[in-house]
């Protein structure tokens, strides 16, 4: 559920709470949550959070390792084959003393900083204990960053920068929609024969779009979700890309959309759900023509659209 605007909001609200702080210890409550990098957990202790940022729907935390720790040797294929692929969008330095944590929140992932000593809750999957960066190793803890995830679809990967570049999902990610001209996005859409909704959801075509913003941008552009991307004119695809950008920007301004579970790292809900035209509004009147909105399954996702306004 957290898509680009929601993860962006989480990154912005989490960054001031953890940047510059030291990771005193790591508690992996739910082993399956750690998808990669188990062997790196010991060296994570003592690392200092350098940056918190978003790429696609991933929440990224870059940390600098404490001086007295040496990185375990990387396996031999941990090279840099895919290096440079996303270099422009990836502010991750290739330094030996840095690690990156990549979190995918999927539908129900959340972050929250709790007071020192707070016990894991029912859905807590991973805990980072935080302390001031300057303090000695045994200084009192300041707080605990919880990664909670009811459905356990979310995950965390701990990686060296080179390993990040070699992670196939990362290496294949398409451009950030808000950093890419609409015309270029349109040309990328046009290169696919599949239905346009599936193309929008394909993270290799454009990164960060999920079900909500796919449906909303298709409605605003007047394009049917099942229309074959390659059959849609370039001006209409450009209008779709612009609509997507406008909606993403507006949603970020309103701190994302809160359906059920989503909260930012302060526990606050977003407000963009109040601006939905179609998502979650099956059978309700189309805001443009008043006809009942249709529900269908498109690209394996629940889809709502107006059969009259979207062609």
Partner DNA sequence: GTGGCCCTGTGA
Partner DNA sequence: TCACAGGGCCAC
Q: Cite the active site residues.
A: 2-3, 57, 301
CA angle 137, 97, 114 (to 5 degrees): 45
Strand partners, 212: none
Q: Under a CB-based contact definition with an 8 Å cutoff, are residues 288 and 305 in contact?
A: no
Helix or strand holding residue 189 (H, E) = helix 182-190
Considering only residues 21 through 60, tell me which ones interact with DNA, judged by CB under 7 A. 32, 56-57
Under the binding rule (CB under 7 A), the answer on residue 121 touching DNA is no
Under the binding rule (CB under 7 A), the answer on residue 198 touching DNA is yes
Among 17, 203, 273, 288, binds DNA (CB under 7 A): 203
On the CB side of 149, how many CA atoms lie within 13 Å of its CA?
25
Considering only residues 220 through 279, tell me which ones interact with DNA, judged by CB under 7 A. 260
Under the binding rule (CB under 7 A), the answer on residue 17 touching DNA is no
Q: Under a CB-based contact definition with an 8 Å cutoff, are residues 153 and 108 in contact?
A: yes
Distance CA 205, CA 83 (A): 19
Q: Report the residue number, 23 or 200, with the smaller CB distance to DNA.
A: 200
Among 135, 152, 273, 288, binds DNA (CB under 7 A): 152
Instruction: Tell me the window of 75-83, 104-112, 131-139, 237-245 that interacts with DNA (CB under 7 A).
Output: 104-112
Under the binding rule (CB under 7 A), the answer on residue 94 touching DNA is no
Q: Report the residue number, 118 or 203, with the smaller CB distance to DNA.
A: 203
Under the binding rule (CB under 7 A), the answer on residue 195 touching DNA is yes
Under the binding rule (CB under 7 A), the answer on residue 299 touching DNA is yes
Could you tell me the smallest distance in angstroms from the CB atom of residue 230 to DNA? Answer: 10
Instruction: Tell me the window of 130-138, 145-153, 176-184, 262-270 that interacts with DNA (CB under 7 A).
Output: 145-153
Strand partners, 103: 59, 156
Nearest-Å Rg of the Cα atoms of the chain is 21
Residue 113 DSSP one-character state? E
Distance CA 34, CA 307 (A): 43
Going by C-alpha positions, the residue among 280, 223, 281, 273 that lies closest to residue 247 is 273
Q: Which residues bind DNA (CB under 7 A)?
A: 1, 3, 32, 56-57, 104, 106-107, 122-123, 150-153, 168-169, 192-195, 198, 201, 203, 210-212, 260, 295, 297, 299-302
């Amino acid at each position: 559920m957290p898509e680009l605007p929601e993860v962006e909001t989480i990154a912005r609200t989490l960054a001031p709470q953890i940047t510059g702080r030291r990771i005193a210890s790591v508690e992996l409550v739910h082993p399956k949550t750690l998808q990669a990098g188990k062997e790196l957990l010991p060296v994570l202790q003592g690392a200092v959070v350098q940056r918190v940022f978003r790429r696609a729907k991933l929440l990224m935390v870059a940390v600098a390792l404490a001086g007295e720790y040496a990185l375990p040797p990387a396996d031999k294929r941990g090279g840099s084959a895919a290096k440079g692929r996303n270099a422009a969008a990836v502010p991750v330095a290739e330094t030996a003393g840095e690690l990156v944590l990549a979190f995918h929140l999927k539908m129900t992932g959340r972050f929250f900083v709790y007071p020192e000593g707070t016990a894991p809750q029912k859905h807590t999957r991973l805990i980072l204990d935080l302390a001031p960066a300057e303090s000695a190793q045994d200084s009192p803890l300041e707080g605990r960053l919880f990664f909670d995830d009811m459905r356990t679809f979310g995950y965390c990967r701990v990686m060296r920068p080179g390993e990040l570049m070699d992670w196939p999902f990362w290496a294949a990610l398409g451009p950030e929609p808000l950093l890419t001209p609409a015309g270029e996005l349109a040309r990328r859409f046009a290169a696919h024969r599949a239905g346009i909704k599936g193309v929008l959801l394909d993270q290799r075509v454009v990164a960060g779009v999920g079900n909500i913003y796919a449906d909303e941008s298709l409605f605003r552009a007047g394009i049917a979700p099942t229309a074959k991307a390659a059959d849609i004119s370039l001006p209409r695809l450009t209008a779709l890309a612009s609509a997507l950008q406008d909606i993403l920007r507006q949603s970020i301004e309103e701190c994302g959309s809160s359906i059920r579970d989503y909260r930012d790292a302060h526990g606050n809900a977003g407000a963009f759900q109040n601006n939905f035209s179609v998502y979650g509004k099956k059978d309700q009147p189309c805001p443009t023509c008043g006809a009942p909105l249709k529900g269908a399954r498109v690209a394996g996702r629940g889809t709502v659209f107006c059969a009259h306004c979207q062609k």
